[in-house]
Chains A and B, each alone.
Chain A
């Protein structure tokens, strides 16, 4: 429950840094959807005793400059993340599909904006 000395993310190697203090507030990852209809985006983390306070803290910490209209808070321990070793199999196949990118296609200038 405490933000762990061992790791804020499951599977992260701990640094050698002395014993953990009990009674730490857990770490939360904060996602915010801005005014312009884009999807929620990770903006950072913070500590809070529970989910309700995490949302309130996020409002105070991460929307001081009108950044958002909707907040998600996820306890860092509950995030499942891909591991770096899988990077190749997950992402490289899409490198070959260059035709998905508009710059793949040469359109003559006289055709105009497209």
Chain B
């Protein structure tokens, strides 16, 4: 989701019999619902896959600040401005928690940041789409956060302790994010003609990109199988996407908005909504860097990082001076 295309380093899932004793003990612990903690032995592939996954998740939170940050200075009321700012601030906090979780695996935040800024590490495709009207703040909260929550709730039970604990905190804090988005959508949908148009337009533009957030179908993927065996992925992409559609379609109807999918139909037999797949070519284009906002997002992050260098260095230099003075005084 926020970590869409994580390749695990394993070559398929080994059976318990094929594992060496360390690996077997590790896998049995996970099977029994145990948590892996930073100093525990872990297979190299587990560590590397987790660094990628948590790192990508953290990057998504940080880059995710930008499309919503785009509207903070144009929020239409003081209360909406405060809510949006608090929400985007939470995203920064969530990025921070996740970077800290990744750091327990032996990688530094600055290193992860450098890999984001150079384009070596990815972030969720969704944040490469522009926010063009105020209704997009509603759509992002309702759809994007809704999709994110769907993925994050099960991750509270993930096998890696620091990651699971970060997710617990994140889920607790995120509970208001989707609601504030839907609240904006309700106001727009019940508002003037222009506001209703804006709301529908936002849904049209964000529907398929939201479905892409879950990643392509993973039925065939060995990476997914390994990640699921390690319990760093809990549900398949398709399961989560279906769950999201089932939850979201009635919410769209309540708003009086039309989901932009002519083939959307409730299937009495399965009890689920049948829906059209997003254009996966577009998805891969966005991942490759050709989304509408890839360039701007990375430029913004690079600029913030470069502009901030003297601040980080300055405060560190001051801390070192203070320490030296204290030592001299002792």
Contacts and interface: CB of A to CB of B under 8 A. Distances in A.
Find out whether A and B make contact in their complex, taking CB atoms under 8 A apart as touching.
yes
Interface of A: 1-9, 11-15, 17-18, 20-21, 23-25, 27, 43-47, 49-50, 53, 61, 64-65, 81, 83-84
Q: Is the interface of A mostly helix, strand, loop or mixed?
A: loop
B96 interface: yes
Contacts of B316: 23, 25, 49
Given A3-B103, A20-B110, A25-B315, 12 more contacts: A3-B110, A4-B108, A5-B107, A5-B111, A21-B110, A24-B108, A45-B100, A49-B319, A50-B319, A61-B96, A64-B90, A81-B39
A45 B108 CA distance: 13
A13 B114 CA distance: 21
B96 A15 contact: no
Contacts of A65: 173
Q: Is the interface of B mostly helix, strand, loop or mixed?
A: helix
B58 to A, nearest CB: 13
Interface stretch (B13-21, B40-48, B198-206): B40-48
B89 interface: yes
A110 to B, nearest CB: 37
A27 B103 contact: yes
B47 A45 contact: no
Contact of B104 (A6, A12, A25): A12
16 contacts: A8-B103, A8-B108, A12-B104, A13-B106, A14-B107, A20-B108, A23-B312, A24-B108, A25-B316, A44-B97, A44-B165, A49-B316, A49-B318, A64-B90, A81-B39, A83-B39
